[in-house]
Each structure stands twice: as structure tokens, then as C-alpha cells.
Structure 1
Amino acid sequence: MPKSSGPSSPAGRGVVITGASSGLGEVCALHLSRVGFHVFAGVRRPEDGERLRVAATGRLTPVIVDVTDEKSVQAAVYEVTESAGEAGLWGLVNNAGIAVTAPLECVPSELMRRQLDTNVTGQLLVIQGFLPLLRAGAGRIVNVTSGLGNIAIPYLGAYAAAQFAKEALSDALRRELAPQRIPVAVVQPGAVLTPLWDKMSGAGNRALESVPEPVRELYRSTFPRFMETNETSARSSRTTPDDVARVVFRALVAERPRTRYHVGRDATGSRVLARLLPDRAIDRILGGIVTPAH
């Protein structure tokens, strides 16, 4: 493999990105299309795909895919294979995901399964399906995780568990695919204000309301305060979806992509804290989240 870290031209190269209906995925799909990639944008609804097609530059093809449905993934792989042909794919950006936010005591089993199915098992299904096209196109994989793949924060335990698992999946894949010269890079955004925050708040409140009153009372003051603080942090964050899109682009065009790209000070900070501080020190830093206000 060449040792240069210079960029590769995106012109006409095929890239699949999942979770492109809204938020980070939508912004990334449109950005990659603008800079010259032919983007296969994974969406769950035809109307989202049509909206993306209209907003794009003519180099975007919507693909209907539900990453938690094996038949849906297989159909998407077939559709992209028919379009890409022998050229294969230059990149696969695994961005699809949900965020379950609630005290772990209040997370029902079906919601935890959905969290892991979407953010972990579904990502592996997509990777397995598209690997033959990536081999044909000398391509690479970019897995979008988050700073919560470094430190697990109270009330985001389900989401952090999925992100930790996706980080581990990425590390194992990078080592397994290195002999085949298929790079695997992780992009870790910090707090970014997207429609995901509204979904998190609603789902978290429903989870809290679903448990018996004595359990609900234990978290009645701290959980809403956490959600409010979390949203405030996202709104005040200087990291934007465009910042994430530019880093995804860098990971796709670098001749030798880094193993990890951190986007935003909080993503970088969580990585540093996880490496430098002992668990008990981190516990003390995060202790205010679960301490009732007086």
C-alpha cells in the first residue's frame, strides 16, 4: 500500500451512506454528492429519498433500506450492485442509528433490542452485504459513532452500550480487513444539534412513565434536568452537521485514513478523559448528573 497520505479524487466514485433521511446522514449525503461522489443514500421512506434527490446535484440515488431488516438490506445491496457494476464501491458510511435515553432501570427489553439492532447488528448486516462491492472498488468503511463510545454517561447507558459495541466492531474489522487492504475508519462526532434530540427526549419520557411509580420517583427530578442540560449543550455546541460531513469526506479521500477522527471538543475531550483518568475520577465528574437538586 502506498505510504502517501494525499487525497484520492471523489469524481464518479460510488459511496453508500445509511441513515440519510435526516440529520447528520442527510447533510453528509448532500455534501458528498456536491464534492463529486455518486451517493447511494439509504433512506426508509420514498418521500425522503425524493426530497434528497431534488436537493442534490444529480449524483445521488436514493435506496430504500431498513438496516434492521435482513431482506431489506439484501434488496439494497442488489440495487446498488446493479447500478455500480464492476466498478464496485469506493466507500460505505455506516451512519444509521437511534439513541435511547433513559435510566437503564427504565429501559424496556424491546427498546434495548431496537437500540442494539439498529446501531450494531444492523451495521454489521450492511457491512457484510456491501463488502464484495468494496473489494471490487478498492474501497473503505467509515463507521460513525460518537463521543459516547469513549465514556458512558448516566441516562445514556443504552446508547453508549451500542456505541462502545460499534467501536469494538470497527477495531475488529480494521484488523480483519487489513490484509485485504480495506481501511476501516471511525468518525466520532461530539454533541451536534439534529432532529435526533427531539426523538431522544420523547422516547426517554415515555420510558420513564412506563415504570411503576416508586421507580419513577427515583428519577423524577434528575432525569428531566439531565435532558434539559443535554439539549442546552447540543444547542450551544459549535460543532455542526457540516463539520461532521467534512470529516467524513476526509476519511473517504485520505489515501491512508486515520483509525479515528474526532469532531468537536467534547468528542476529543471524552477520548482524553477515558485514557488518562481512573474510573473513580470519571465517576466523580459525572456524579452531578444523578444527584438530586436541593
Structure 2
Amino acid sequence: MDLKDSMYYIPARHQPKRKRVAIYARVSSNTKDQLRSLANQVSALTQKVSLVEDWRLVDIYIDVASAKEKLKREEFNRLIVDCRNKKVTIVLTKSVSRFGRDTIEALETVRLLKELKVRIIFDQEDIDTASEDSELLLTIYESLAQADNESRSQNIKLGHRYRAMDGTSKLYHRKCYGYDHDKEGLLIVNEEQAVVVRQIFAWYLEGNSIVGLIKLLEENHIPSPRGKAKWSKRALETMLSNEKYIGKVHLFKNNEYEDSYLIEDNHTAIISKYVFEKVQSEKSRRSNVIRTGNGLERKNSKYSSKA
């Protein structure tokens, strides 16, 4: 019997169209954990597509990008182009956070794809843009995610403060020029660099300006902390004010609204307190800015140095 004579025959033009589904997945770095997460995302979403009878997987779009930097998401952009060209009717993705880097980007893309009559399904949040209230739900979820990130950031800051309070913070042993870390991560003197630090303090007390110090360091072929031939003014100004060279560490001291934490003799000093204080007095003397009853004012004359 001819198939066309069968009562069960459906002409090709009457066969239901299968929806063209695309999977979009994104991770924020190419570490092993993130790539494993990416593989799990794609595997789980592919399985979901296979379970729906009238869905057909047409493509998988994968971006390995940073959420912090404004990097171009090539696969994301390719997905949008394919949606414009009617190659895709449904986009399936793990979550709002994997789809958009922020609320504005997520909502703008949702609106665009809705105009193109492309449906987006966020698996984790169970949001389907075919629903009328999906945009409201997206806003709510993004707001919750942002609040969660802010809370996590605040907890990290509090953790730093608690460790500073009990003296266990690693910030007490943050390296600077003149110091290295021992096996336990504690500060120890780098003797070769310490000689340079002492010389810089001595040169300054001999009357040399910051520009003069840069010249002397170049003449003596002493590379900067970053290995460059020329030292920066900022590096030298920071060095001459750094209490770490007298063994002192003062955390969070520049925040007038919160407590600060001070440890004397935290590590071996490179400069004596006497020399350090003389340098601070000399810096103040040379400054052409003074504090008066009217606030900060410039002196009439500037300091004249050797160089």
C-alpha cells in the first residue's frame, strides 16, 4: 500500500516544525575548575534539549571571558547574529549570571531577543522569557545576585579586619623593597636591597632631593624595585615614608571612620627610628606647603637642594 494512502500519513508541509535551540555557556577564566564547570554546563543543557521532542540543537556557543574586564564575547555576539538571521528560536543557558555580566546587559539582550521573537530559558532560575513577568523576575534575581556579591565582598573585608585585630593577617607581612618572605611567609631582610635602602635615606639627609636621588641611583647603576634603570619619584617618596623600614606595620590607618591596627617590632628593621624620624622632619621642612589657621598654604620660598 502506498504510504500516501495511509490514514496516518502527514504531508511534509503539515509536519510540526522543530524549534531550533542554541545553548550558551560562559565561564570567567580558563582554570581547571572553570573549564570543568563549563563542561558540566554544556552536558546538562544538551541533555535537557534531547528530552524535549520538538526541540533540535542547532549550535553551542561558548565564551571563556572575564566578568571584570570589558572583553568582547565573540560567541555571545555570534549567537545574537544567528538569532537575527532566524537560525535560532530558543536560547538555553544555565543562569542569569552566566548570560549577562550585569543587570543592564542581561535586560537589554532579553529585550532585543524578545523583539526578534527568540525565547530565552534560564535553567537555574527557572525563568522563561515567554512568560510576561520574566523581565521582572530577571531584575529581582540580578538584584539578589548583586546583593550577594556585595555581602561576600563585605565579609572578605571584615575577615581582613578580624585577622588584623588578632595579629594573624598576612597584610602585616606584605613585601616591599628591602624584604623577602621566609618559608612561613614572614618578612625577612634582603641584605642586598637593604644596603640600597640605607643609602637612599643617607643621601636624602645629606641634602639630595628626590630628583637628585634618581640621578645618584642611575649613576651607581642600581635598578628600581621593578628592575628598571630609572627609579620613579613615587617609589622613592613612598620608601622615605614607609614605617615598615623601622619594623612597624600600621594597617587601615588612612580610614578615619574605622579602627586601625598597629604592630611595633613586627619584623627586623632596616632603618633606625632616629634616622627615619630625621627624614620625616626633613621632608616636612623642605615642603613648600604649611598648615596655618587658614588651612594649608604655600611658603614664600622653596627648598634648595644639592640636585
TM-score, normalization by structure 2? 0.30
Which protein, 1 or 2, shows the higher relative CO under an 8 Å CA cutoff with sep ≥ 6?
1
TM-score calculated relative to the size of structure 1: 0.31
